[in-house]
Amino acid sequence: MSAQTVAAVPPRLTPRQQLWRRAWRHKGLVFGATVLAVIVLLAVFAPLVAPHDPYRQNLLARMVPPVFLGGTWDHPLGTDALGRDYLSRLLYGARISLMIGFVTAMISAVIGSVLGILGGYFGGKVDAVVTFLISVRLAMPVVLVALAVVALLGGSLIVMMTVLGLLLWDRFAVVLRTATRQVRSMEYVAAAEVLGASLPRILFKDILPNVMSQLIVIATLEMAHAILLEASLSFLGLGVRPPTPSWGLMISEGKEMLLFQPWLIAIPGVALFLVVISINMFGDGVRDITAPEGRN
Amino acid sequence: MLKFVFGKLLLAACVALTVSAVSFGLLHLAGDPAIALAGESASEADIEAIRVNFGYDRPLLVQYGDWLSRAATGDFGISRFFNKPVSELVWDRLPITMMLGVFAIIFALVLAIPMGVLAATRPNSWFDRIALFISVVGQAIPSFWFGLILIVIFSINLGWLPASGASSWKNFVLPTVVLGYFATPALMRLTRTGMLDVLASDYVRTARAKGLPTRKVLFKHALRNAMIPVVSLAAVQMGFMLSGSIIVESVFALPGAGQLAWVSISRNDLPMIQALILIFSMFYIVFTFAADVLNAWLDPRLRVS
């Protein structure tokens, strides 16, 4: 009798196990994470996966169509106007996109979280300064400023990542400021203050872990944002310089052949879309499973 | 109310001043304008002559003060590339960009509001899910690529609409769609959540209990209140759109201020770039200021805090 009632109670799961269970049940999250993982693996192992050298030109095999448009398996996605293998350029381009997205998101996450957490924790004058900085940043036309500064400094990868990182921190600051304010009103923060915990201890041990999920969600969104911006800048001819295989640059080069070879812009565009949508779905999923209202 | 407006105005002015200082500083620190102007084959003496001639040898703060006091009177200097006054060129091109921005925001609102309302009246229905799906997909499509695909379909294959230029209203159709669809998902989601909140409120229940037809409840009672945040987001989006016009205008070769910005950046035309950054950020500041005031007027609670 008593053994039966014990068996009827579901096994108690640790919060971490509950989180994993919610994650596996979230279709969007699983889909986004899977696609993203495949793309990351392909990018990391690009030198092993790519059938050709992405920089090697072959003027005898220019604009070969992809397999599904009557090409051969030698160039599964065809070749561009200089006879470079399109699949290889696409794979190496994934490295550029992911790296720019990741590093930019890291730089802006650091700037935005420091500002947001300080503003949210201290309030008053500090908060007023942070809010003012956010308004200034929002009023600056990102595309225009990024284009101008990158054009003046020269479009190397490091310049791109730094400039975008210095411009995209606004959402981190806005969200973390509100989140920190909420956490700050919790009793455990008051308890830590009463116990005489040092400021860094409170900020790193009490505040930061509790705003981490929001930080991760914004980081994914900004990573996607940075990838799209890099592609736009390179498309406008003022970002990454040729012959680097950036997807935006590939679309820009393919634009000249829009009339007869529309697949030259379709393929990198689809790649860009897949990366961005998988990152966004991953981020949305993380938000759903960590937000209190997403739990049942 | 007057105090609120005055406070916001003061803040907006401070933001505008800081933006102008930051962008001025950034552009001058990013590269020596004299070297950029002189070109690659210039000698050291040429560069020095240009530096003195254009006043780039003065301290940065003096240059900024000089530029700002002229800009305040509408004088942005002479464009280095076009060799004409900057303000004249900008006023020439700005109407096209503003027209595009207005069309695009109207397009976005016409699409987003009905979809948001419909999704809110039937939460979790297939329509709601499709609307959510469209917004997720829409946000992941790069706008310049979307523009090129539309050109392939509607200009090259179907031949319905021109791919470039600004000679008739037809030239504005594709750019409007590209610029407008980008603002649609956010506006739609906000309409949906706003409507869901309002529909659950007591006064809507009262209106229903009185026996008012659903259409009247939705549009006369609920939508009016749900629209308040949407209006302010639309104003902010409008500010973003104007600076997003740089990409759309260069895809469709639309000769507006965005395309002017692209040309000036490619040609290192510093006075022009500075003027355009200031003007675009002023647009954003004015729009958000208008949205704040409008919101405070519609919702008196906001005036207090």
Q: pLDDT (tens digit, 9 = 90+) per residue, B6-49?
A: 888 888 888 888 888 888 888 877 777 677 666 667 777 777 77
Between the alpha carbon of residue A289 and those of residues A23, A130, A284, B112, B130, the distances in Å are 6, 30, 9, 27, 21
C-alpha span between A98 and A43 (Å, rounded): 8
Q: How far is A112 from chain B (nearest CA, A)?
A: 18
Whether the per-residue pLDDT at B165 is higher than 90: the answer is no
Q: What's the confidence (pLDDT) of residue A113?
A: 92
CA dihedral A160, B246, A142, A249 (to 10 degrees): -20
Q: How far is A84 from chain B (nearest CA, A)?
A: 21
C-alpha span between B158 and B161 (Å, rounded): 8
For A148, the token pair is 């101008």
What's the pLDDT tens digit per position in A154-210? Answer: 778 888 899 899 989 988 999 999 888 888 888 888 888 888 888 888 888 888 888
Angle at B284 between CA B288 and CA B296, to 5 degrees: 5
Q: Do B30 and A147 touch (CB under 8 A)?
A: no
Q: What's the confidence (pLDDT) of residue A273?
A: 92
Q: How far is A19 from chain B (nearest CA, A)?
A: 24
For B112, the token pair is 């987003």
Q: Do B149 and A265 touch (CB under 8 A)?
A: yes
C-alpha span between B166 and A195 (Å, rounded): 69
Q: How far is B281 from chain A (nearest CA, A)?
A: 5
Q: Which of A141, A152, A277 sits opposite B280 (nearest CB)?
A: A141
Q: Which residues of A touch B148 (CB under 8 A)?
A: 251, 255, 258, 265, 269
Contacts of B106 (CB under 8 A, 6+ apart): B180
Q: Mean pLDDT throughout B157-161?
A: 75
Q: What's the confidence (pLDDT) of residue A8?
A: 59
**Tokens 């829409």 map to which residue?**
B138
Q: Which residues of A touch B23 (CB under 8 A)?
A: 140, 145
Q: Do A269 and B261 touch (CB under 8 A)?
A: no
Residue B130 host element (H or E): helix B126-140
Q: Which residues of B touch A159 (CB under 8 A)?
A: none
Strand partners, A85: A79
Question: What is the band of A78 on the pLDDT scale with cuts at 50, 70, 90?
Answer: confident
Whether the per-residue pLDDT at B168 is higher than 80: the answer is no
Of the candidates B87, B94, B55, the one whose C-alpha atom is nearest the C-alpha of residue B72 is B87
Whether the per-residue pLDDT at B70 is higher than 70: the answer is yes
CB B239 within 8 A of CB B284: yes
A85 or A136, which is more confident?
Answer: A136
C-alpha span between B185 and A205 (Å, rounded): 37
Dmax (CA) for chain B in angstroms is 85
**Residue in B with minimal Cα distance to A225:** B140
C-alpha span between B250 and B149 (Å, rounded): 15
In this structure, what are the phi and psi dihedrals at residue B133, rounded to the nearest 5 degrees?
-60, -45
Q: Which residues of B touch A141 (CB under 8 A)?
A: 242-243, 277, 280-281, 284
Q: At what angle do helices A124-139 and B270-298 cross, to 10 degrees?
A: 120
Query: Helix (H, G, I), strand (E, B), or coil: what is residue B78?
Result: strand
Mean pLDDT computed over every residue of chain A: 83
DSSP A214-263: HHHHHHHHHHHHHHHHHHHHHHTTSSSPTTS--HHHHHHHHGGGTTT-TH
Q: Mean pLDDT throughout A110-134?
A: 91
- Cβ neighbours, 10 Å, residue A25: 10
CB B245 within 8 A of CB B100: yes
C-alpha span between A80 and A86 (Å, rounded): 6
Q: What is the pTM of this model?
A: 0.86
CB B23 within 8 A of CB B265: no
For B7, the token pair is 């406070």
Which of A13-27, A82-96, A124-138, A240-254 is the most confident on average? A124-138
CB B28 within 8 A of CB B79: no
